[in-house]
Chains A and B, each alone.
Chain A
């Protein structure tokens, strides 16, 4: 007896059969009805809905098999039917067919002689088995046209039933997978140290994790919708609301710090973040957000700020103490009054420069608008005002920021220039003025001090004072620039040509490093 050939795509075929999930399920009316109808149409004693598994044939529905629920694949007629390319196999007399003549089901009980089967084929073309009838008498005439039609239509009905079952099964699996994934999400979300929430695309809050309820102490569901805003510190509500509306409108990441009320009534600084989830078309389908308690971090930051403020206060105070010490010491020695005054003024100029050094904290920020070169120079030249309160040193040009390393040099340079001008130059007469131009020239920063309206200048003074040396030292020694003085008849012109990085060396180092 030749065993039935295996279909070419046997492995895929078995996988498809498995996917339908029908093997070894119980009997069902729908298939029993079809088997019965088919048997009646053929006036045959046996009808089967037969599925061919790897090594067996299994009957989903069976009529006239005396309780047999299947057979080995070897003896199955349907196994032969699915091996061929045809959808239909008719065997009028098994004894006359070499494939079946010595089949034990033919030679022995139940002495099968006639077979007509139609392959049950999936939409993808996989043969799962066959719908068939058997007779124990040979039928030399084969099948009638009507029987043929019947077999064809009913086999399609069987497949339609199979498809329906597969669809339901996939749907059930999908629902189960979704429930599983939902359960997983909740497990993760509830075990996070952060508060987690989610909203509909319009911003309606419909989910909070357990941590949210634990932190806020509010009853579950009570902050759905817009109720969350009431949990914020009254001063932060409008700001958070506006920021959230902006994110909803633009789809931009939501990030904000606010104070959130804890279950004990204490407001804790919290970092709120949310990001939108989009579908394939880019449309926002949900927002997922977190709230992180950053109160301790915030406190540490404030502590650090406080410390640096305290330090800054101390430093500035030391200038005041040194200045007072010089003045007090000079009282003992009236002959040193001029000397002490000059030293003191220089110290005061240094102190003033440190007021304007960056960076500043919110509190230590100086009283004047910004901490730039121009604002510092304006403050430094404040004493040189005319009767109307207008500064006699006019500052013009490109502004710049400067750091503590440059502060000392810049302060000393312009303190000396101004003091000198007040003694001998343009500021020594009421109508004299100074124009200070600052110019950013690529990699150089050039400051030009031009005196006008003062006493006429005869030429370079024969003796350079200490103040003059200090100015030179500041520019050429400290700032790495060049200082040039020109005694023009109309007034002194001083040009300080600095490397552009000289004013903020630390920042320049950060940039290149």
Chain B
């Protein structure tokens, strides 16, 4: 299944690599943004199925609130991707879980698949081991 994915990541290299991986998998990356404000604008303008959200963005540690808002208010499925998963140790309401960076293509693929299946209500037997689920 292909999805419209928004990458929210302030490290350009990491974002670019992620974009390539997702496009290889057949997804449509509708944008890579580096701060929370631009992310909100983009999510408001266009349909987003899944957002990959880093916690430390170019405007500070704004990823957590952004992820919660996208998930709870804007109907976006949210996966956090961060080098510091301790920041979301207690979980974030309305989001799926967290993937620890650096990661690899396979982990990204399985985590994205898992999140999209959950979004569509498809039963999933178990989550990929690299993905730490909330709740």
Indicate whether A366 sits within 8 Å of B85 (C-beta atoms), given known contacts A313-B56, A351-B102: yes
Q: Are B102 and A355 in contact (CB under 8 A)?
A: no
Indicate whether A367 sits within 8 Å of B129 (C-beta atoms), given known contacts A327-B17, A327-B105: no
Indicate whether A324 sits within 8 Å of B89 (C-beta atoms), given known contacts A345-B104, A351-B83: no
Q: Mark A247-286, 1 if CB is under 8 A from B, else 0.
A: 0000000000000000000000000000000000000000
Q: Mark A322-339, 1 if CB is under 8 A from B, else 0.
A: 111101100100000000
Q: How far apart sit A319 and B102, CA to CA, in the bound complex (Å)?
A: 6
Question: Is A8 an interface residue when CB atoms closer than 8 A count as contact?
Answer: no
Contact among B83, B105, B126, B130 for A313, CB-based, below 8 A: B83
Q: Which residues of the partner chain B approach A389 to less than 8 Å between Cβ atoms?
A: 126-127, 129
Q: Which residues of the partner chain A approach B88 to less than 8 Å between Cβ atoms?
A: 367
Question: Is A388 an interface residue when CB atoms closer than 8 A count as contact?
Answer: yes
Q: How far apart sit A343 and B56, CA to CA, in the bound complex (Å)?
A: 26
Question: Is B59 an interface residue when CB atoms closer than 8 A count as contact?
Answer: no
Q: How far apart sit A364 and B89, CA to CA, in the bound complex (Å)?
A: 10
Q: How far is the CB of B131 from the nearest CB of chain A, in Å?
A: 10
Q: Mark B75-118, 1 if CB is under 8 A from A, else 0.
A: 00000000111111100000000101111110100000000000
Q: Which residues of the partner chain B approach A328 to less than 8 Å between Cβ atoms?
A: 13, 16-17, 20
Q: How far is the CB of A343 from the nearest CB of chain B, in Å?
A: 11
Q: Are A324 and B102 in contact (CB under 8 A)?
A: yes
Q: How far apart sit A360 and B14, CA to CA, in the bound complex (Å)?
A: 25
Question: Is A304 an interface residue when CB atoms closer than 8 A count as contact?
Answer: no
Q: Are A364 and B86 in contact (CB under 8 A)?
A: yes
Indicate whether A385 sits within 8 Å of B17 (C-beta atoms), given known contacts A320-B11, A365-B89: no
Q: Which of A355-406 contact B (CB under 8 A)?
A: 355, 360, 363-367, 382-383, 385, 388-389
Question: Is B132 an interface residue when CB atoms closer than 8 A count as contact?
Answer: yes
Indicate whether A317 sits within 8 Å of B89 (C-beta atoms), given known contacts A351-B83, A389-B126: no
Contact among A347, A364, A366 for B102, CB-based, below 8 A: A347
Q: Are B100 and A355 in contact (CB under 8 A)?
A: yes
- Select the residue from A319, A320, A355 with max chain B CB neighbours within 10 A: A320
- Chain A interface size range: 20 to 34
Q: How far is the CB of B91 from the nearest CB of chain A, in Å?
A: 10
Question: Is A50 an interface residue when CB atoms closer than 8 A count as contact?
Answer: no
Q: Are A352 and B105 in contact (CB under 8 A)?
A: no
Q: Are A321 and B14 in contact (CB under 8 A)?
A: yes
Q: Which residues of the partner chain A approach B130 to less than 8 Å between Cβ atoms?
A: 382-383
Q: How far apart sit A345 and B102, CA to CA, in the bound complex (Å)?
A: 9
Q: How far apart sit A319 and B103, CA to CA, in the bound complex (Å)?
A: 10
Indicate whether A363 sits within 8 Å of B86 (C-beta atoms), given known contacts A324-B17, A382-B129, A389-B129: yes
Q: Are A388 and B126 in contact (CB under 8 A)?
A: yes
Question: Is A316 an interface residue when CB atoms closer than 8 A count as contact?
Answer: yes
Contact among B16, B56, B127 for A324, CB-based, below 8 A: B16
Q: Which residue of A lies closest to B24 (CB)?
A: A331
Indicate whether A352 sits within 8 Å of B104 (C-beta atoms), given known contacts A320-B83, A325-B13, A367-B89: no
- Chain B interface size range: 20 to 34
Q: Which residues of the partner chain A approach B132 to less than 8 Å between Cβ atoms?
A: 367
Q: Are A320 and B101 in contact (CB under 8 A)?
A: yes
- Select the residue from A324, A348, A366 with max chain B CB neighbours within 10 A: A324
Q: Which residues of the partner chain A approach B129 to less than 8 Å between Cβ atoms?
A: 382-383, 385, 389
Question: Is A344 an interface residue when CB atoms closer than 8 A count as contact?
Answer: yes
Indicate whether A321 sits within 8 Å of B104 (C-beta atoms), given known contacts A331-B20, A389-B126: no
Q: How far is the CB of B19 from the nearest CB of chain A, in Å?
A: 10
Q: How far is the CB of A474 from the nearest CB of chain B, in Å?
A: 20
Q: How far is the CB of A280 from the nearest CB of chain B, in Å?
A: 54
Q: Which residue of B lies closest to A385 (CB)?
A: B129
Q: Which residues of the partner chain B approach A324 to less than 8 Å between Cβ atoms?
A: 11, 13-14, 16-18, 102
Q: How far is the CB of A186 from the nearest CB of chain B, in Å?
A: 50
Q: Mark B1-31, 1 if CB is under 8 A from A, else 0.
A: 0000000000101101110110000000000
Q: How far is the CB of A261 from the nearest CB of chain B, in Å?
A: 30
Q: Which residues of the partner chain B approach A320 to less than 8 Å between Cβ atoms?
A: 11, 14, 83, 101-102
Q: How far apart sit A324 and B14, CA to CA, in the bound complex (Å)?
A: 5
Q: Mark A463-482, 1 if CB is under 8 A from B, else 0.
A: 00000000000000000000
Q: Which residue of A lies closest to B129 (CB)?
A: A382
Q: Which residues of the partner chain B approach A348 to less than 8 Å between Cβ atoms?
A: 102-104
Q: Which residue of B lies closest to A325 (CB)?
A: B13
Q: How far is the CB of A312 from the nearest CB of chain B, in Å?
A: 8
Q: How far is the CB of B116 from the nearest CB of chain A, in Å?
A: 19
Indicate whether A365 sits within 8 Å of B104 (C-beta atoms), given known contacts A313-B56, A324-B17: no
Q: How far is the CB of A326 from the nearest CB of chain B, in Å?
A: 9
Q: How far is the CB of B85 from the nearest CB of chain A, in Å?
A: 5
Q: How far apart sit A323 and B87, CA to CA, in the bound complex (Å)?
A: 21
Q: Which residues of the partner chain B approach A385 to less than 8 Å between Cβ atoms?
A: 129
Q: Which residues of B contact A (CB under 8 A)?
A: 11, 13-14, 16-18, 20-21, 56, 83-89, 98, 100-105, 107, 126-127, 129-130, 132
The 8 A-B residue pairs with the shortest CB-CB distance in the complex, in nearest-first order = A323-B102, A316-B83, A324-B17, A320-B101, A382-B129, A320-B102, A324-B14, A389-B126
**Given A327-B21, A364-B84, 7 more contacts at CB 8 Å?**
A316-B101, A317-B101, A321-B14, A324-B13, A327-B20, A363-B86, A367-B86
In the complex, 12 of the A-B residue pairs with CB atoms within 8 angstroms, ordered by the A residue number, are: A312-B84, A316-B83, A317-B56, A319-B102, A321-B13, A324-B11, A324-B17, A325-B13, A345-B104, A355-B100, A364-B86, A367-B89
